[in-house]
Amino acid sequence: MSYLTVNQFIRYGGAGIRRQMRENGKNGGIAILDFGSQYTQLIARRIREFEVYSEILPWNASLGRIMEKSPRGIILSGGPRSTSGPGAPLIDGSLLDGSVPVLGICYGMQLIAHIRGGSVKKGRRGEYGRTRVIFSEGDNEKILRGVPKAIDVWMSHWDEVRQLPDGAVRFGESESGTCAAYSMDGGRITALQFHPEVDTTEYGREMISSFLFGICGCEPNWKLGDWVKRSLESIAETVGNEDRVICGLSGGVDSTVAAVLVSKVLGDRLDCIFVDHGFMRKDEPPQVLEMYRKLNLRVYHVDESERFLAAVKDAVNPEKKRKIIGETFVRVFEAEARKFGLAKWLLQGTIYPDVIESGFVGGDVIKSHHNVGGLPEDMKMSLLEPIRELFKDEVRRIGSLLDIPDEMLKRHPFPGPGLAVRCLGNLERGRLDALREADAIFISEIKSAGLYDDIWQAFCVLLPVRSVGVAGDVRTYGETVALRAVASRDAMTAESVHLPWELIDKVAKRICGEVPQVGRVVIDVTGKPPATIEWE
CA distances for 308 relative to 198, 219, 272, 289, 417, angstroms: 38, 51, 19, 20, 10
Residues 397-416 that bind ligand XMP (CB under 6 A): 413, 415-416
Could you say whether residue 457 binds ligand XMP (CB under 6 A)? Answer: yes
Least gap, CB of 168 to ligand XMP (angstroms): 38
Q: Please, which residue, 157 or 369, has the CB nearer to ligand XMP?
A: 369
Residues 458-477 that bind ligand XMP (CB under 6 A): none
| Rg of the chain over all Cα atoms, to the nearest angstrom | 25
Q: Give the up-direction half-sphere exposure of residue 233: CA atoms within 13 A in the CB hemisphere.
A: 13
Q: Give the up-direction half-sphere exposure of residue 510: CA atoms within 13 A in the CB hemisphere.
A: 17
Q: Please, which residue, 370 or 396, has the CB nearer to ligand XMP?
A: 370
Could you say whether residue 534 binds ligand XMP (CB under 6 A)? Answer: yes
CB 526 within 8 A of CB 496: yes
> Among residues 13, 16, 417, 519, which is the contact residue for ligand XMP, using CB under 6 A?
417
Q: Please, which residue, 302 or 491, has the CB nearer to ligand XMP?
A: 491
Q: Please, which residue, 13 or 353, has the CB nearer to ligand XMP?
A: 353
> Among residues 276, 284, 354, 385, which is the contact residue for ligand XMP, using CB under 6 A?
354
Q: Please, which residue, 10 or 76, has the CB nearer to ligand XMP?
A: 10
Could you say whether residue 357 binds ligand XMP (CB under 6 A)? Answer: yes
Least gap, CB of 376 to ligand XMP (angstroms): 16
Binding string, residues 116-155; x marks residues near ligand XMP by CB under 6 A? ----------------------------------------
Could you say whether residue 46 binds ligand XMP (CB under 6 A)? Answer: no
Which stretch, 147-155, 334-342, 350-358, 380-388, contacts ligand XMP (CB under 6 A)? Answer: 350-358
Q: Please, which residue, 61 or 356, has the CB nearer to ligand XMP?
A: 356
Least gap, CB of 409 to ligand XMP (angstroms): 14
CB 192 within 8 A of CB 109: yes
Residue spans of alpha helices (H) in 39-193? 40-49, 63-67, 107-115
Could you say whether residue 493 binds ligand XMP (CB under 6 A)? Answer: no
Least gap, CB of 3 to ligand XMP (angstroms): 17
Convert 456-502 into a string of H (helix), E (strand) and C (coil).
Answer: CEEEEEEEEEEEEEEECCEEEEEEEEEEEEEECCCCCCEEECCCCHH
Report the alpha-carbon distance of residue 113 to residue 183 in Å, rounded: 10
Helices (H) and strands (E) in the chain, counts: 16, 18
CB 387 within 8 A of CB 395: yes
Least gap, CB of 417 to ligand XMP (angstroms): 5
Give strand pairing partners of 34.
58
Report the alpha-carbon distance of residue 181 to residue 136 in Å, rounded: 10
Report the alpha-carbon distance of residue 358 to residue 342 in Å, rounded: 29
Q: Which of 170, 437, 398, 419 is nearest to 277 (CA)?
A: 419
6 phi/psi in degrees, rounded to 5: -65, -40
Residues 360-379 that bind ligand XMP (CB under 6 A): 367, 369-371
Indicate if the alpha-carbon torsion angle 395, 400, 401, 403 is positive or negative: positive
Least gap, CB of 330 to ligand XMP (angstroms): 14
Q: Please, which residue, 350 or 382, has the CB nearer to ligand XMP?
A: 350
Q: Which of 114, 157, 195, 370 is flagged as catalytic?
A: 195
Report the alpha-carbon distance of residue 255 to residue 262 in Å, rounded: 11
Q: Which of 106, 179, 216, 218 is flagged as catalytic?
A: 106
Could you say whether residue 386 binds ligand XMP (CB under 6 A)? Answer: no
Beta carbons within 8 Å of 225's beta carbon, 6+ residues apart: 401
Least gap, CB of 242 to ligand XMP (angstroms): 30
Least gap, CB of 285 to ligand XMP (angstroms): 17
Q: Which of 127, 141, 197, 284 is flagged as catalytic?
A: 197
Which stretch, 5-13, 45-53, 221-229, 528-536, contacts ligand XMP (CB under 6 A)? Answer: 528-536
CB 131 within 8 A of CB 174: yes
Q: Please, which residue, 152 or 319, has the CB nearer to ligand XMP?
A: 319
- Indicate if 106 belongs to the active site: yes
Q: Please, which residue, 357 or 394, has the CB nearer to ligand XMP?
A: 357
Category of 28 on φ-ψ map: left (φ > 0), alpha (ψ -120 to 50) or beta: left
How many chain residues are in contact with ligand XMP, going by CB under 6 A?
17
Could you say whether residue 312 binds ligand XMP (CB under 6 A)? Answer: no
Least gap, CB of 492 to ligand XMP (angstroms): 8
Residue spans of alpha helices (H) in 12-149? 15-25, 40-49, 63-67, 107-115
Report the alpha-carbon distance of residue 433 to residue 282 in Å, rounded: 8
- E-strand ranges in 53-174 read 54-58, 73-76, 102-105, 119-135, 150-163, 169-174
Least gap, CB of 252 to ligand XMP (angstroms): 7
User: At residue 316, what is the residue type?
Assistant: V
Residues marked active site are found at: 106, 195, 197
Chain residues binding ligand XMP by CB under 6 A are 353-354, 357, 367, 369-371, 413, 415-417, 457, 491, 528, 532-534
